[in-house]
Structure 1
């Protein structure tokens, strides 16, 4: 870990930066929280007025007005509760999508060396569990924490209105809400981060296991693979136990502070009422208010663990976004001119780990228009040469040139625009053929991909099979191009009538596809990658 642990407070600071583009919606969401805070803090004052000014004097009219005020406050709280949940979910989802988009864009900028050392499962957990924890806090727990914190602060101010001596007594206990969890915060934050990291390693191990099932089954490696997975599960369980213990200690200190505050203040208020220093209405209002405040303290303890998990996820996402690509365009990079003469490697040396060279002293020239095959055993450097040619990597020594221009001095986008590559691994377009993949690559990125039009099988328009649904009734569909090649029943769409049709006649032979004339761009250099050994 190259950066300090964020912790819940650092996570809140990060949230403020993420929420800045949605400041208007955040302000509206904050305003919808005020009725909930008012209901918890102003209700005790209404109760005091109800007891002292309506019940004891037996004033029915005043009692009606106060009860109506309580009903209005309750109805307003219910309406604003709905709006608050909606705005919180809306903003939280958009912030999560912004983070996903930032990570996706960052992935496109990172060099291949990053993916050499990163684990796919670990990267995927940043999109799943880490972002889920952040979104959960933004849509639910942050709202609850804000309401509870405001209830405590505003309630303390109302306590000064009810009885200032009890308010001062409450102030003695409030620092425990912060200082108690602070004792365990450093260890709890580190434990939460380690738990997230161990979960990412488990996901990476599962992903590796699933992708290597052919090897595992061929060599009967199931016991070994299961043993490794069980080891990961054990470490995840151990980290989870530690996180739960430390989070429980933090929550317990908050709960203990709230319980102590409740007992001491209720006892003090009771004796003050017995001595006549506090009216009955003020005592009822004080009991109600202190109950709401202590309940808010207790609910704050419930969000400690979600905040720690979200802080761990935010730490891992921050570390990912702090990664920088190894291959970048120079400040004065220019567009590469059109290829004309040759591709050349000049005494090139490259090493993946910086110690053992993977290729050394390679000098090679490929004239334009020539076809060259790189053949050799696994690990001899074929993939490395192709990566250097496409500038996925930069050589440690020597240079790679096209028509005498060093590839490190040109813009990568202009270089790749003149390169045509066919890779063995086509996971980006698994449902495309080679033809449609090349078609998509040679169009602007804004063009929508459409499959190339199929060559018509027949020009006949004499289909008479609109109602043919059986092999016998399809005897009149002999000219339908939707006929089955196997001679069995086949339902399709007739090109002439646009109706359902069947046929038992084999289709006519397909028209041979014309070879498209070559263009200057089709003579660009081509590499075969993820590249075959």
Structure 2
């Protein structure tokens, strides 16, 4: 294992310890119960040895001394079972609390991460970290708590008892022990790396499955099934190889340690037999010693079985901690203002932005928008239309230059209050699992029923909502499978109309509704936009004829701007773009 991987594993272990720290009281209790369990387990062989010494020969049994010993053994066994049950109960409680904290931190960090992180990572991989990897960590932690601690205490306890009975035989056992530890350490280094690769491959598989299930109609429409199966086969094979190697290395641990442990038992048996013949041990003490030798070696077998689970758990935990330790988005300034009543003016001054340094996108962008203006943004795909919206909403920060809302730089405004001043209706509709009422009131949870119905009527959604089985209380899923794509977009429009903030962003907001409904919604938009600053991203140029200013973008620059008639008269890029669409409509 290279140094970086070793340091990473050490760092992960320290992070796990940090998560356990709030439960240190329960942790100490679990250690105490483990010590009690081990002490009682080790005391039982002493009683058994004393009982064996009272059975001298057939017909020569000291029943008066044997019966109290049998009672003691019964009590010790009962107390051992009780303490072990309580210990496992505490172990599981700690584990589930720690995993609960880990999931909570991971999901909370997801809310703090900049969009650049989610844009650059597969959704399925992120989901896998928060769900599958935390489950893997939980399974390993439960086994580790239940067996690792008791195993270590058992080893130390049996050594102490063996030394008290016969120092020389105990010394022989200790000298053989490092061989078992060396075997375990040798295998552990290799299993950790393999389990880490297995977790990565599992994340890739989750991403692919999520992609295929979420876009099943597209997959079937374009006949992508064979390609999807090929991609799945490649990832599945990679997962199989890493999983097989991880299991192979981890499976070596148990038989190797069993071999070493058998050597320990044989040494104790032979040396003990000679000691009995020499009069140094009684038969009962030899019986006790052999029991201790077996109990001494047994934890090595258990720990070796736990090692594989622990390596898998640490590898999974590392992926979750990698998410948790991702740098959050730049926090709001301590003196950032809460924007409450903007006047609707927007100014972009010498703005530069690129998603990656080697690929410039927006360069020296300047724009001044007055209160209540309707600004349409058009241009070919990749020209920066959506990027401009991302900058206005401060989903991304500019590399250079300033964006001002009501004369205030948006870096000096809290993100939450800034975004509350924008109403967004996007081409990609998004609904949450819940009722239609809850989806419309998503941005205004305290809205009254009358307000919700008024917004739905304004968006021409009230009619189809009332025709649903439960009306506004109809449940819809995140995918909205029980309503059409156009109806989903009408709900998103109603959601924006309910809030009616000072500024609006419409990104192909009517792309999924029929022409008749679009005409009605456009009328509603016209009414809604009165007195409000609006940014309209459009591909269908017929929808922006009434805009106060049309920005024609190409390669991150404004190459033309003006009203519809002015741009047509210039006979430039916009004119060619508009006429090409008009010609297509005429031909169709």
Instruction: Report TM bin, short chain.
Output: 0.7 to 0.9
- Structure 1: segments with no counterpart, 5+ residues: 456-483, 493-515
1:74 match: 77
1:381 match: 384
Shift of 1:87: 2.1
Which stretch has the larger CA shift, 114-123 or 331-340?
331-340
Shift of 1:315: 1.0
| Distance in 1 separating the partners of 2:260 and 2:419 | 63
Shift of 1:240: 1.0
**Contact 2:38/2:150 (<8 A) preserved:** yes
From 400, 406, 422, the counterpart of 1:419:
422
1:87 match: 90
Q: Does 1:24 align with 2:25?
A: yes
If the length of structure 1 is used for normalisation, what is the TM-score? Answer: 0.80
- Going from structure 1 to structure 2, the CA distance change for 1:138 and 1:417 (only over 3 Å counts) comes to same
**Contact 1:347/1:362 (<8 A) preserved:** yes
1:429 is paired with a residue whose SS is coil
| Distance in 2 separating the partners of 1:384 and 1:229 | 33
| Distance in 2 separating the partners of 1:60 and 1:452 | 89
| Distance in 2 separating the partners of 1:2 and 1:424 | 48
Count residues in correspondence: 473
Shift of 1:236: 0.6
2:350 is paired with a residue whose SS is strand
More helix by share: 2
Shift of 1:187: 2.8
Counterpart mapping for 1:504-523 below 5 A: 522-523=500-501
Q: Does 1:365 align with 2:368?
A: yes
Encode CA deviations 1:230-287: one digit per residue, 9 max, x unaligned.
0111111111121122223344443332222112222211222122221111101001
Q: CA RMSD in A?
A: 3.3
Shift of 1:325: 3.0
- Going from structure 1 to structure 2, the CA distance change for 1:485 and 1:329 (only over 3 Å counts) comes to closer
Encode CA deviations 1:493-520: one digit per residue, 9 max, x unaligned.
xxxxxxxxxxxxxxxxxxxxxxx9x999
Shift of 1:410: 2.4
1:47 match: 48
Q: Does 1:234 align with 2:212?
A: no
Shift of 1:158: 0.6
| Distance in 1 separating the partners of 2:73 and 2:411 | 73
Shift of 1:94: 1.4
- Structure 2: segments with no counterpart, 5+ residues: 454-465, 472-493, 510-536, 540-588
**Contact 2:422/2:503 (<8 A) preserved:** yes
Shift of 1:426: 5.0
Q: Does 1:439 align with 2:441?
A: yes
Shift of 1:75: 0.8
Shift of 1:10: 5.8
Which stretch has the larger CA shift, 68-77 or 409-418?
409-418
From 200, 203, 227, the counterpart of 1:200:
203
Encode CA deviations 1:402-437: one digit per residue, 9 max, x unaligned.
12221122222232233333344454524454x744
**Contact 2:41/2:80 (<8 A) preserved:** no
- Going from structure 1 to structure 2, the CA distance change for 1:3 and 1:451 (only over 3 Å counts) comes to farther
1:283 match: 286
**Contact 1:46/1:70 (<8 A) preserved:** yes
1:364 is paired with a residue whose SS is strand
**Contact 1:189/1:312 (<8 A) preserved:** yes
